[in-house]
Every structure is written in C-alpha cells, then in structure tokens.
C-alpha cells in the first residue's frame, strides 16, 4: 500500500460530530387568548359558547384535515392558563403532535423531477475555503455506524479508507471518475473516495459512501438534487454546490430525524427513497 502525500488540513476532521436537528415547524392557527378557568376547571369569560363549540369541534377533527392541522398549537391546558407549569404528559403530547406534522411533510414529486432535470449537467467545483476537505486517515470509521441496523447501512458500517494507485483502482473497479476535485470509484450503488488515485486531485468534503443507485448517477449531481429539495423544504440554508459538507450533513440529519430514519448525516438508500429520488 502506498503512503499518502501530505495534505494541508483546513480545520476539518474525518470524525463527524453530532449535528443539531432542525426543530419541527408548526403551523399557526388563530391567535385566541387562552381561556381562564375557575377552581373546578371550567372556562369562564373570554370565549362565547359558539367559540367554545368551535374549539371542541377542531379538537375532535370535525372540520377535516385543515382544522386538525391547526390544533397542533392548542391552547394551554387549564393548569397552565391558571399560572401553573404544564404537566409532563400534556407537554409530551404537544411535542408528539409537532413531530407528527413534521414527519408528514413530503417533497412534491413534480418539484423533485424538475430539480433533477435542472441538474442534468451539474458539475461540482472544489471549494476548500468554504467547504474544508477531509484528510486521509486509514483508521477512520464512520461514527455511530456500528449501531445502524439493516442491510441498507452495511456499506457505511464496513467502510474504511484505503490508499491505492491508479492501476489498482482500474483493475478492481470499471468506473472511476473525477468528481468535484477528487476521484471516486463506483461499487454496487455507491460512490467511494478513491484515495491515492491522483496526487493532484484529493479534494473530498466527506469521507464515506454516497448512495446513488444502480444507474451510477454522478455523486455531485445527486448531492445537488438533495440539497435543492432540502432547501425548498426549509432544512438546508446553504448553496447548492454538490458537495457533502457540514451544512448539508446537518440538513440531512434534520430531515432523517423528522422522517424517523437512521440519522446517518449521509446520502443513503432510505433517505433517497423518502425524498422520492431512488
């Protein structure tokens, strides 16, 4: 095995830390003042009988999905309205309602197809100042992957970087391509960094597998597609650059959490399926 050349590190490491998960977005209903209650818990003042009836109808889902969505921000329970702190179960129920609303959020299939057409000829460019590269570390393992259950995560659990020359890669893999400043090889639905392939092209924003499916679409194009969709959904705030940098991984973690997926912070098969891109 050849030894890697020296590579200047721009403040990045190959270990991926935990990312903050974007909070679930809540829809806002009408801003009614919370009702006051007497000692028996009955509402007094502030609401007419008709208003109370409308609230009860919304709570029971009698006005359809639109009204049901608004009840995710129900008025505080009597204890809170009277000045006490919300009880644990009531607070947990509100959190469950918020999470359920986020999990129901799906990308528009037509928008997904439009984005994919727009990126048909997308080519990523290296941006080491904005997206620092990772460096080769033969001991690197994807953090947390040993706990990811299922065959669809096997490529992440078993991944470890290897350093080989150009001849070795071509003798083992028929597809090796220069993508966004670094060479990648394709194997069974995934693109992997081809460390050592060329000393002049060693720019990688992420050291790990990138799932694209059996059609072997270029990884930068798939990354750009994912970035654009997550951007429209409010998860990703950065530039659509086709690089799997820290901001993109954070957005992926937030979307995966809301969908109940394993938080790999990477582009994997279940995530592409959920986005309608598989």
The pLDDT tens digits of the residues spanning 34-44 come to 544 444 444 44
Q: Which neighbouring-strand residues pair with 182?
A: 179, 202
Say if 26 falls within a structural domain: no
Confidence check: pLDDT of 162 > 80:
yes
Asked if residues 44 and 33 have their Cβ atoms less than 8 Å apart, the reply is no
* Mean pLDDT score, 184-211: 97
Confidence band (pLDDT; 50, 70, 90) for 278?
confident
Confidence band (pLDDT; 50, 70, 90) for 26?
very low
E strand or H helix at 170:
helix 166-172
Q: Where a domain ends, among 103, 121, 151?
A: 103
Asked if residues 36 and 44 have their Cβ atoms less than 8 Å apart, the reply is yes
Q: Where a domain ends, among 85, 103, 121?
A: 103
Say if 14 falls within a structural domain: no
In tens, the pLDDT along 76-113 reads 444 443 344 444 444 444 444 444 444 547 888 999 99
Residue 187: phi, psi to the nearest 5? -150, 115
Q: Are residues 143 and 261 in the same domain?
A: yes
Asked if residues 156 and 208 have their Cβ atoms less than 8 Å apart, the reply is yes
Confidence check: pLDDT of 3 > 80:
no
Say if 17 falls within a structural domain: no
Is the sign of the CA dihedral 198, 199, 200, 204 positive or negative? Answer: positive
Closest C-alpha to 219, from 267, 257, 171 = 267
Q: Answer yes or no: pTM beyond 0.95.
A: no
Q: Are residues 80 and 157 in the same domain?
A: no
Question: Residue 49 belongs to what domain range?
Answer: 36-103
Q: Are residues 234 and 194 in the same domain?
A: yes
How many structural domains does the chain have?
2
At 53 the pLDDT is 56
In tens, the pLDDT along 103-151 reads 547 888 999 999 999 999 999 999 999 999 999 999 999 999 999 999 9
């Amino acid at each position: 095995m050849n030894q890697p050349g020296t590579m200047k590190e721009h403040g990045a490491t190959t270990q991926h830390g935990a990312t903050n998960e974007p909070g679930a977005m809540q829809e806002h209903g009408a801003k009614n003042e919370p009702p006051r209650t007497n000692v028996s818990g009955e509402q007094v003042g502030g609401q007419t009988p008709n208003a109370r009836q409308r609230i009860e109808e919304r709570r029971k889902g009698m006005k359809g999905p639109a009204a049901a969505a608004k009840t995710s921000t129900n008025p505080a329970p009597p204890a809170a309205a009277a000045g006490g702190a919300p009880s644990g179960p009531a607070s947990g129920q509100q959190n469950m309602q918020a999470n359920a609303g986020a999990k129901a959020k799906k990308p528009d299939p037509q928008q997904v197809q439009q984005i994919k057409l727009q990126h048909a000829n997308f080519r990523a460019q290296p941006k080491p100042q904005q997206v620092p590269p990772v460096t080769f570390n033969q001991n690197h393992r994807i953090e947390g992957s040993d706990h990811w259950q299922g065959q669809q995560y096997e490529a992440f659990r078993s991944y470890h970087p290897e350093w080989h020359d150009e001849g070795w890669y071509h003798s083992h893999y028929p597809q090796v391509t220069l993508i966004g400043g670094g060479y990648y090889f394709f194997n069974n639905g995934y693109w992997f960094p081809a460390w050592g392939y060329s000393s002049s092209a060693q720019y990688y924003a992420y050291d790990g597998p990138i799932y694209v499916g059996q059609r072997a679409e270029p990884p930068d194009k798939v990354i750009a597609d994912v970035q654009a969709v997550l951007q429209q959904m409010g998860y990703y705030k950065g530039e659509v650059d086709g690089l799997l940098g820290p901001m993109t991984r954070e957005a992926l973690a937030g979307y995966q959490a809301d969908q109940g997926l394993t938080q790999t912070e990477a582009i994997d098969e279940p995530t592409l399926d959920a986005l309608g891109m598989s």
